[in-house]
Amino acid sequence: MNTQRESEWKKLYTSEDWWSVWMGFIIFLFAILGWFGQVPKLGKWTFNPADMFIVREGTEAAGTLAFPILLLLVTLGLLMTVAVYFMRGKPGRFLGSFTVVFILAIVSYLFANQVQVKAYGLGYAFWALLIGLLISNTIGTPKWLMAGVRTELYIKTGLVLLGAEVLFGKILQLGGPGLFVAWLVTPTVIFFMYWFGVRGLKLASKSLVIIIAAATSVCGVSAAIATCAAARGKKEELTLAVGMTLIFTVLMMIFMPMIIKGIGMDVAVGAAWMGGTIDSTGAVVAAGAFLGKQAEQIAAVVKMIQNVLIGVVAFFVALYWTTSVDRDPSGPKPNAMEIWYRFPKFVVGFVAASLLFSFVLVPAMGQSVVENDIIKFATKSLRGWLFCMAFVSIGLESNFKDLASQMVGGKPLILYITGQSFNVVLTVFAAWLAFGGVLWPKPF
């Protein structure tokens, strides 16, 4: 046991989990001090892809993003290289291959930011995953490039940054109705999907079942990553869950606003319905915007409240896997430290970031400064870059043959569709009770 504890102390500076926390808070420090400035956010383009790199003030070209992008590449690359060094990787190899992954992320944004493509909801995550998969399954991912394929480091750091966007002040704006929709439905769907996957479909991999259940019920990719870490699932299982989630997220983002308008559903009810079921925060905001500004705010806040459950779900999955799924019946009963060893540490960073921004920075600096000068212009944009590189990496290390082996006769797809259907029906009922004037007064 002492040896294991010593190993845990060593992981503070050698594991991806902890380095994602340290890097997240270094980025927060840089953003608060204004050292990052505005992280480059690539623009839209219609006919000329070069327009994506031009900064405009009104209709006039005011500059180019070339230098800010180069500065971001160098800063982020050096920061990641330090982490790789302490994780006993090869810094020289990493920095070169990281540059290629970063360029592939730019290409992903290039496709995603075309005006017509953007209208269809095919965001950077879709294109990043597709580009990575095309390379991996055609010419094959070169061995030298794999040094920069640090999927978990990118996405875990991004999840720590996501914690800054979960502000408790915003959550309290919707109070009881938002909590009712997000926190009542989510655990119900997880329990149903886990029971259906293990007992109904008899899927042998319980980790695959819980990863798909978390992705469906909480917030898609972010929850899938945290749950996969807690259950120690396979990368192929995570890739499968992410792929299904991205496809259905696009479909739901497009068709749910159309259905809400078509049947004349109350806008607040429809917004809460989308916030509780669409698996990506960005897609939720985009879908809510189709119904108006107030609907966009309701949908976003419901999703934000749901995002809080990332840490809660990861904790209980780690607890259940330690005490039941992975437990040796003939061995001693696991103690609290065993659960801590299993718990994904980047979730600690996610929760700490939320608490720091909600209860320290917002009161000290003001909500407007925190949201606009720190989150909007620095951490949120940087999270987008990290997530984009993570999706490129997922594609680069995935093989269709490996993914096909996880399909088990299509059962994971059946699990996702059945669970999402249950989620959609239960959430619209909860949204009607909470936002339709039944349990609480209508918000507008």
In order along its 444 residues, the chain shows pLDDT tens digits of 456 555 767 778 888 889 999 999 999 998 888 876 678 888 889 999 988 998 765 545 567 888 889 999 999 999 999 999 999 888 889 999 999 999 999 999 999 999 888 877 778 888 998 999 999 999 999 999 999 999 889 989 998 998 898 888 877 777 789 889 988 999 999 999 999 999 999 999 999 999 999 999 987 888 898 899 889 898 889 888 988 888 888 889 889 999 999 999 999 999 999 999 998 777 888 888 888 888 888 998 898 888 888 888 999 998 899 888 887 666 666 666 777 777 888 888 988 999 999 999 999 998 888 988 888 888 888 999 999 999 899 889 888 777 777 777 889 999 999 999 999 999 999 999 999 989 998 876
Q: How far is residue 266 from each of residues 174, 261, 297, 444, measured CA to CA in Å?
A: 17, 9, 15, 10
Long-range contacts at 27-33 (CB < 8 A, ≥ 24 apart): 27/79, 27/157, 27/161, 27/378, 27/379, 27/382, 28/161, 28/164, 28/353, 28/356, 28/379, 30/378, 31/374, 31/378, 31/379, 32/361, 32/374
Instruction: Classify burial at 238, counting beta carbons within 10 Å of its beta carbon; exposed 0-12, middle 13-18, buried 19 or more.
Output: buried
Task: Report the predicted TM-score, pTM, of the whole model to 2 decimal places.
Answer: 0.84
Dist CA 406 CA 410 (whole Å): 9
Predicted pLDDT at 118: 82
